[in-house]
């Protein structure tokens, strides 16, 4: 039945097509129909959303090496096998196994108040513990590494260094604010340890003022003392900073029983539809199956994984036969090691595989805005020719620069274009790496639109290359 709304869409497609050369006109109308079918199916089916529900509620947090990560591997393999894809397989990868241990304790001893104040902290991924008795020391606050260096060993030795640089909220794109602050989490503990610090607190990586702490990985350096490191919630970071101004000699108590166990065998989970004309040219769609251990890993990155699986389901359900191979990869160990991404690239290089594009969804399941493209000028220019097809679905942002952590190791293997799916970023860091990153925070339609967006771009690349 031709509704008035469908008629308007057809007329718009026809009007746009008339401005194009003859062959392009034919392709534009055909592609418009296919893309509309992709969105119709994605928005009508709840399968990807229910898959996310199972992953987050039945399996839960999936830190690399954990039993839950192993369960997620087996479950997602079965999901893709039940889709009748051309190929489904597991790719072995050894991953680190860090465990958080008991619930962390953070507490200020304020001599002027003659009492203690509890503060919310979360051990940073990979940190050593404090021992079961915990540890306490005076706190010294810094904004950046330059301030730390100027203080020198004499003032830092024996203290807990408190990195308290907030997000720059003048950035419209919150990913830019994150990039401008996250170095203190990744490199802060090692830098402080070089000057004799006994512990580190890092302001949580969020643009909001919250009580929940945001975990994330940190990196130690060989030959440098490993010291306990924790994120402190932004609300309590503000409070601690205020208390230090009043009492520079206050002490902070922290207790964490974290430890790193021997590496564990895990897997990337891979499923694909073989191309009908150029099967050796591969398009990856992917996200990371692991998550931090304190929430459910819904936005980070359950949505990305379920959207990637949904891309293949949409192709199958609609009878779309890609000319080039479309491969979904659920990477393991993005959060605290990136070993899945490196292993995938290593195997691809050893096999001589030709990847022409890789699309990663790892920015949450929010409303789609577009894609960031890290590729050649020719690849970017070709993607821009599809703007008229993408714009009706809110995909207005096709910008230079993109990719993602897991697909990054593919860079340099031929002329593969690394593409980051970009949803609206304003709420992402409310949930990122926290206990509140749960299924309930994901909007079904936003997630469905994201899957359709990825499927649309994968379809166009499969048809025309890049």
Which positions are catalytic? 334
CA 439 – CA 276 distance, rounded (Å): 37
Beta bridge partners of 271: 88, 328
Phi, psi dihedrals of residue 187, rounded to the nearest 5°? -110, -5
Mode of pairing for the β-strands spanning 105-110 and 278-288: unpaired
> For residue 330, which of 35, 42, 127, 59 has the smallest C-alpha distance?
59
The answer to whether the beta carbons of residues 325 and 280 sit under 8 Å apart is yes
CA distances for 365 relative to 148, 266, 422, angstroms:
37, 25, 10
The pairing of strands 259-273 and 324-331 is antiparallel
Q: Return the closest-CA partner of residue 272 out of 318, 202, 322, 341.
A: 322
- The answer to whether 452 and 314 have CB atoms below 8 angstroms apart is yes
Is the CB of residue 185 less than 8 Å from the CB of residue 191? no
DSSP structure string for 265-315: EEEEEEEEE--SSEEEEEEEEEEES---SSS--IIIIIHHHHHHHHHHHHH
């Amino acid at each position: 039945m031709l509704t008035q709304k469908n008629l308007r869409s057809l007329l718009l497609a026809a009007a746009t097509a008339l401005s194009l050369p003859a062959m392009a006109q034919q392709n534009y109308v055909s592609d418009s129909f296919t893309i509309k079918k992709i969105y119709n199916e994605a928005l009508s089916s709840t399968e990807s959303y229910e898959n996310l529900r199972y992953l987050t509620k039945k399996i839960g947090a999936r830190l690399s090496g954990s039993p839950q990560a192993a369960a997620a591997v087996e479950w997602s393999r079965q999901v893709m096998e039940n889709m009748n894809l051309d190929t489904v397989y597991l790719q072995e990868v050894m991953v680190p196994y860090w465990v958080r241990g008991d619930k962390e304790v953070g507490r200020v001893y304020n001599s002027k108040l003659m009492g203690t104040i509890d503060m919310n902290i979360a051990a940073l991924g990979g940190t050593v513990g404090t021992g079961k008795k915990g540890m306490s020391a005076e706190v010294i606050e810094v904004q950046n590494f330059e301030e730390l260096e100027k203080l020198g060993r004499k003032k830092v030795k024996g203290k807990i260094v408190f990195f308290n640089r907030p997000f720059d909220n003048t950035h419209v794109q919150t990913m830019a604010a994150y990039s401008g602050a996250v170095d203190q989490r990744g490199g802060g503990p090692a830098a402080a340890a070089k000057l004799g610090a006994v512990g580190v607190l890092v302001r949580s990586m969020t643009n909001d003022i919250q009580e929940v702490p945001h975990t994330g990985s940190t990196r130690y350096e060989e030959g440098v003392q490993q010291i306990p490191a924790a994120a402190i919630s932004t609300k309590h970071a503000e409070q601690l900073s205020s208390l230090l101004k009043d009492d520079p000699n206050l002490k902070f108590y922290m207790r964490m029983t974290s430890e790193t166990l021997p590496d564990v065998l895990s897997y990337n989970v891979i499923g694909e539809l073989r191309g009908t004309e150029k099967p050796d040219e591969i398009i990856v769609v992917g996200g990371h199956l692991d998550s931090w251990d304190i929430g459910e890993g819904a936005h980070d990155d359950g949505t990305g994984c379920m959207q990637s699986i949904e891309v293949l389901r949409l192709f199958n359900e609609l009878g779309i036969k890609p000319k080039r191979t479309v491969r979904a990869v659920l990477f393991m160990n993005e959060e605290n090691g990136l070993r899945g991404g490196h292993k995938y690239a290593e195997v691809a290089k050893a096999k001589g595989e030709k990847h022409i594009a890789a699309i990663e969804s790892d920015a949450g399941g929010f409303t789609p805005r577009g894609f960031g493209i890290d590729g050649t000028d020719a690849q970017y220019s070709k993607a821009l020719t599809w703007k008229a097809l993408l714009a009706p679905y809110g995909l207005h942002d096709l910008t230079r620069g993109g990719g993602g952590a897991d697909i990054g190791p593919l860079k340099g293997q031929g002329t593969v274009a690394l593409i980051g799916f970009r949803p609206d970023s304003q709420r992402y860091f409310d949930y990122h790496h926290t206990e509140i990153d749960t299924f309930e925070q994901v909007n079904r339609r936003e997630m469905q639109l994201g899957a359709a967006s990825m499927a649309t771009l994968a379809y166009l690349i499969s048809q025309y290359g890049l």
